[in-house]
């Protein structure tokens, strides 16, 4: 599987920032109160990032052991085991998290930008939870991108790379 291009993640992030900022401005122009994320949004995004990091580290250690065994074949038992279905699912999960994290981080960052420009809210009331949600989305996207890279398999001569 190929890694998601970082330019695509950046483009999604910037589009989400623009969209969120525009929607925030539109809602306030009609007198509608902005829906702010609670701290639970950040907790959930950080929890998903933690699960992905755990699965990604298992994949990384397995891939490193495979590389070591290619260089120095041995009959010793493996230290790290992961089946190919789980490896492929981990890479697919990482791709989904990278894309979803870029979108979530962008939406919440756009809202933070709007709040900073409008300066109508208190820091702890709306800005802090929104800022934490933006950071958690960006972290999720970064971990997703990182784990995707750990699942890359160097192409074999005459073959395709797959996780």
Q: Considering the domain boundaries, does residue 3 fall inside one?
A: no
Instruction: Quote the pLDDT of residue 32.
Output: 83
Q: What is the CA radius of gyration of the chain?
A: 20
| Band (107; pLDDT cuts 50, 70, 90) | very high
Q: Considering the domain boundaries, does residue 52 fall inside one?
A: yes
Task: Give the global pTM.
Answer: 0.84
Q: Which domain holds residue 119?
A: 12-27+38-71+80-150
Best CA proximity match to 115, nearest among 33, 4, 2: 33
Per-residue model confidence as pLDDT tens digits over 6-61: 999 999 999 999 999 899 888 888 888 777 888 999 999 999 999 999 999 999 99
Q: Considering the domain boundaries, does residue 5 fall inside one?
A: no
Best CA proximity match to 99, nearest among 57, 48, 23, 151: 48
Q: How many domains does the chain have?
A: 1
Mean pLDDT of 111-116: 88
Q: Considering the domain boundaries, does residue 142 fall inside one?
A: yes
Q: Is the pLDDT of residue 146 over 90?
A: yes
Instruction: Quote the pLDDT of residue 79.
Output: 83
């Amino acid at each position: 599987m190929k890694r998601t291009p970082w330019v695509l993640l950046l483009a999604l992030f910037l589009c989400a920032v623009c969209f969120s900022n525009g929607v925030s401005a539109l809602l306030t122009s009609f007198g509608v109160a902005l829906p702010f994320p609670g701290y639970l949004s950040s907790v959930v995004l950080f929890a998903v990032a933690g699960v992905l990091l755990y699965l990604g580290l298992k994949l990384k250690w397995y891939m490193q052991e495979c590389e070591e065994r290619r260089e120095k074949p041995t009959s010793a038992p493996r230290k790290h085991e992961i089946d190919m279905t789980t490896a492929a699912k981990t890479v697919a999960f990482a791709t989904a998290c990278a894309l979803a994290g870029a979108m979530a981080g962008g939406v919440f960052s756009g809202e933070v930008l709007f709040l900073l420009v409008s300066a109508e809210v208190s820091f702890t009331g709306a800005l802090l939870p929104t800022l934490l949600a933006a950071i958690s989305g960006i972290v999720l996207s970064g971990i997703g991108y990182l784990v995707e890279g750990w699942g890359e398999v160097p192409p074999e001569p005459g073959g395709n790379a797959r996780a």
